[in-house]
Amino acid sequence: MTWPAGLSMEGAKGTTPAGPAPDEDFQARVSEWWVNEGNSALTDFSYANESYDAVILLALASLAANSTDPAEVAGKLQEVSGGSGDGEKCTEYKECADIILGGGVADYDGYSGPITFADNGDPTEATIGVFQYGADNKSVRIDL
């Protein structure tokens, strides 16, 4: 977005989903994949963490349900998010899949931070980033 000459956003603050802290390796891998698909390099990673984690949770719930039936997958989302309270913490798909395939219960926490769904499917916690604009009208994260 281009601001009209003389208009400054300096000092303005805002929030966005951002995970507990930027993971530069993850961002580099996401951007590399995106560029390899024929796009220009990413500069904004808003919702990247949450989108990635959503896909991992769905894949783990499908694995735990041993099904691709939507109702059966949905029935396992709370479990693989740690909402049932009896899972083993894991942070990567392979690690979690190994737990499930070994007969255990996975409790996935990903790039967006801890993920735990309540009985009704609502998230029980979240992480946001607080950003502030500088004199150059570019925002930087200030809540690290």
Write down the pLDDT at residue 66.
98
Residue 59: Cβ within 10 Å count: 16
Whether residue 78 lies inside any domain: the answer is yes
Whether residue 117 lies inside any domain: the answer is yes
Write down the pLDDT at residue 101.
98
Write down the pLDDT at residue 51.
92
Tokens, residue 86: 């009896």
Write down the pLDDT at residue 128.
81
Write down the pLDDT at residue 22.
73
- Full domain range(s) for residue 46: 13-141
Whether residue 76 lies inside any domain: the answer is yes
Whether residue 6 lies inside any domain: the answer is no
Q: At what angle do helices 70-80 and 48-65 cross, to 10 degrees?
A: 110
Q: What is the chain's pLDDT, residue by residue, as a tens digit (144 residues)?
A: 555 667 888 999 988 877 667 788 999 999 999 999 999 999 888 888 899 999 999 999 999 999 999 999 999 999 999 999 889 999 999 999 999 999 999 999 999 888 999 999 898 988 888 889 998 888 888 876
Q: What's the total number of domains in the chain?
A: 1
Whether residue 133 lies inside any domain: the answer is yes
Whether residue 4 lies inside any domain: the answer is no
- Among the residues of the chain, which ranges form H helices? 24-36, 48-65, 70-80, 93-101
Write down the pLDDT at residue 143.
75
Whether residue 5 lies inside any domain: the answer is no
**Residue 67 burial (CB < 10 Å; 0-12/13-18/19+)?**
middle
Write down the pLDDT at residue 126.
80
Q: Residue 108: which H helix or E strand, with range?
A: strand 106-108
Write down the pLDDT at residue 2.
57
